[in-house]
Structure 1
Amino acid sequence: MTVEIWSDVVCPWCYIGKRRFEAGLAQFAHHDDVEVVWRSFELDPNAAPSGAGQGEYAARLASKYGRTVEQAQGMIDQITATAAGEGLDFRFDLARPGNTFDAHRLLHLARAHDVQDALKERLDHATFTEGSPPSDHDALRVLAREVGIPGEEVDAVLASDRYADAVRADEEQAREYGINGVPFFVIDQRYGISGAQPAEVVTQTLEKAWSDRAPITVVATGDADSCEGDACAI
């Protein structure tokens, strides 16, 4: 079973959703048979690089949603408390904006090295707990190396447009699915979970998807030739 997760590294609900998904997956009897693939989704494809347009997070949030700074701070306090309930330490006082396209490219590189989930976790933690700038190449280089990706490969990706097509393909697939918010979980290309749902919802959906996996229906039988075991191996 494959679970594809559309997410961004500057999305607080995506990090909360990751924790809830992990908790739900842990309760799923067939968790060892689940492959998790992180897919790219940019909340703001036009975001400036990290370091530009800095300012208080509450002020940026208020401007984006047409709220007062006090109302925005209330939203921040609420989501910080929710994150704490999932064991996450959100530090919005340190959080910095920035374009995430290169981070997504590195996540595709990480998948090639079987450390995609590790890099996703490291990027989320760096953004929301450490205040790491999400588009800064020096910061990204350190995080990618920490999870075991060879430095020369990280440098090669950051110095080129490698995996740019893969990021855009993920985003095009999201549009085809009608995904306009993240996190969004797609199970075996058949079942979807929108948002950071509770762990029990994740478990229930995984169980349904597993039970609905139809066995192969044989529609042609007879004496047609076939290979069995190593009887006709070459």
Structure 2
Amino acid sequence: MSTLIVDIWSDIVCPWCYLGKRRFESALDGFARRDAVQVRWRSFELDPHGSRRANLTLPERHRRDVGGTPEQARRRIGALSDLAAQSGLTYRLDLARPVNSFDAHRLMHYADQVGVGERVRERLLLAYTGEGAVLSDHETLARLGAEAGLDPAATLAMLGSADFTESVRKDEALGRRLGVSGVPTFVFAEKYAVSGAQPVEVFADLLDRSWREIAPAEPLGGEGVCTAGGSC
């Protein structure tokens, strides 16, 4: 049986990544061959040299990087929150604290290895976009991981080591080779790439198109067919 691989580069401290994840999942739910799809989450740091300290909220960070008044920043953040609500997500981005996400990525690789990657990923994304959690703090990461099924003591031990550093760096290196410069970025069957939280219909089309190219043609069956060897 053929397998359709979808690689997704994403950052935990990225509201657009959570929205893109949810829209992709909606498309996947409606895909007839969903069981044949393998999703591989890849690490990407939006600010690899960023501080581990939560010095600014997301609106303050927007004003610093993009400019404009506090009201303009609130409107930009509010527009994104409205889009997220259409996909069933509740954002409180006025609380969000952009920080260095390297250790959160290491935690995700650890969770994937343990078998609770999806639950931990959802918990971290929710904590960042809706709860103002500081995802560079080891105690916070251990607490959130425990809520999603990880052992907190083992998580703290892992975070205190260098484990999964190479896993994060390999994802980032692969992304650079493929030209990934922003997130979320979705690569279907190692051939079709699309960036951003695309509409559900775009993801659905890419799933269908990619599947048609990798899967062998399936006979429809029925009467009125002559087979090789003269059997009619």
TM-score range normalised by the length of the shorter chain: 0.7 to 0.9
Structure-2 change in CA distance of 1:214 and 1:19 (3 Å) = closer
* 1:144 alignment partner in structure 2: 145
Counterpart check, 1:4 vs 2:7: yes
Aligned-pair identity (%):
46
Matched, 1:37 2:40: yes
**Residue 28, structure 1, aligned to residue 31, structure 2:** yes
TM-score for both structures, normalised by structure 2? 0.87
Give the Cα–Cα distance (whole angstroms) in 2 for the partners of residues 156 and 6 of structure 1.
Answer: 26
Cα distance per residue 1:182-220 (max 9 Å; x no partner): 0001122122121111111111101110100165xxxxx
| Alpha-carbon separation, structure 2, partners of 1:4 and 1:144 | 23
Corresponding residue pairs, total:
214
Q: Which residue of 2 aligns with 1:128?
A: 129
Asked if residue 171 in structure 1 is aligned to residue 175 in structure 2, the reply is no
> Aligned partners of 1:4 and 1:21: how far apart in 2?
12
Q: Is the 8 A contact 2:139 2:156 kept in 1?
A: no
Q: Could you say what secondary structure the match of 1:2 adopts?
A: strand
Aligned to 1:100: 101
- Unaligned runs of 5+ residues in structure 2 are 217-232
Correspondence list, 1:174-193, <5 A: 174-193=175-194
Q: Match of 1:15?
A: 18
Q: 2: distance between equivalents of 1:143 and 1:76?
A: 25
Which string of whole-angstrom CA distances, capped at 9 and with x for unpartnered residues, describes residues 65-115 of structure 1? 133322222111111111111111110222112110000001111111222
8 Å CA contact retained: 2:52, 2:137: yes
Report the CA distance shift for 1:208/1:97 in structure 2 as closer, same or farther (over 3 A).
same
How far apart are the structure 2 equivalents of 1:25 and 1:83?
Answer: 18
The superposition leaves residues 102-136 of structure 1 with CA deviations (integer Å, 9 ceiling, x where unpaired) of 00001111111222121111100000111111111
2:80 aligns with 79
Structure 1 residue runs without a partner (length 5+)? 216-234
Partner residue in 1 for 2:200: 199
TM-score (norm 1): 0.87
Distance 2:17 2:207 in 1: 19
1:2-60 CA-partner distances (Å, limit 9, x unpaired): 21110011111001001100100001101111111211000001111133x23x43232
Residue 224 of structure 2: aligned partner: none
> Secondary structure of the equivalent of 1:212?
helix
Q: Which amino acid aligns with 2:137?
A: D
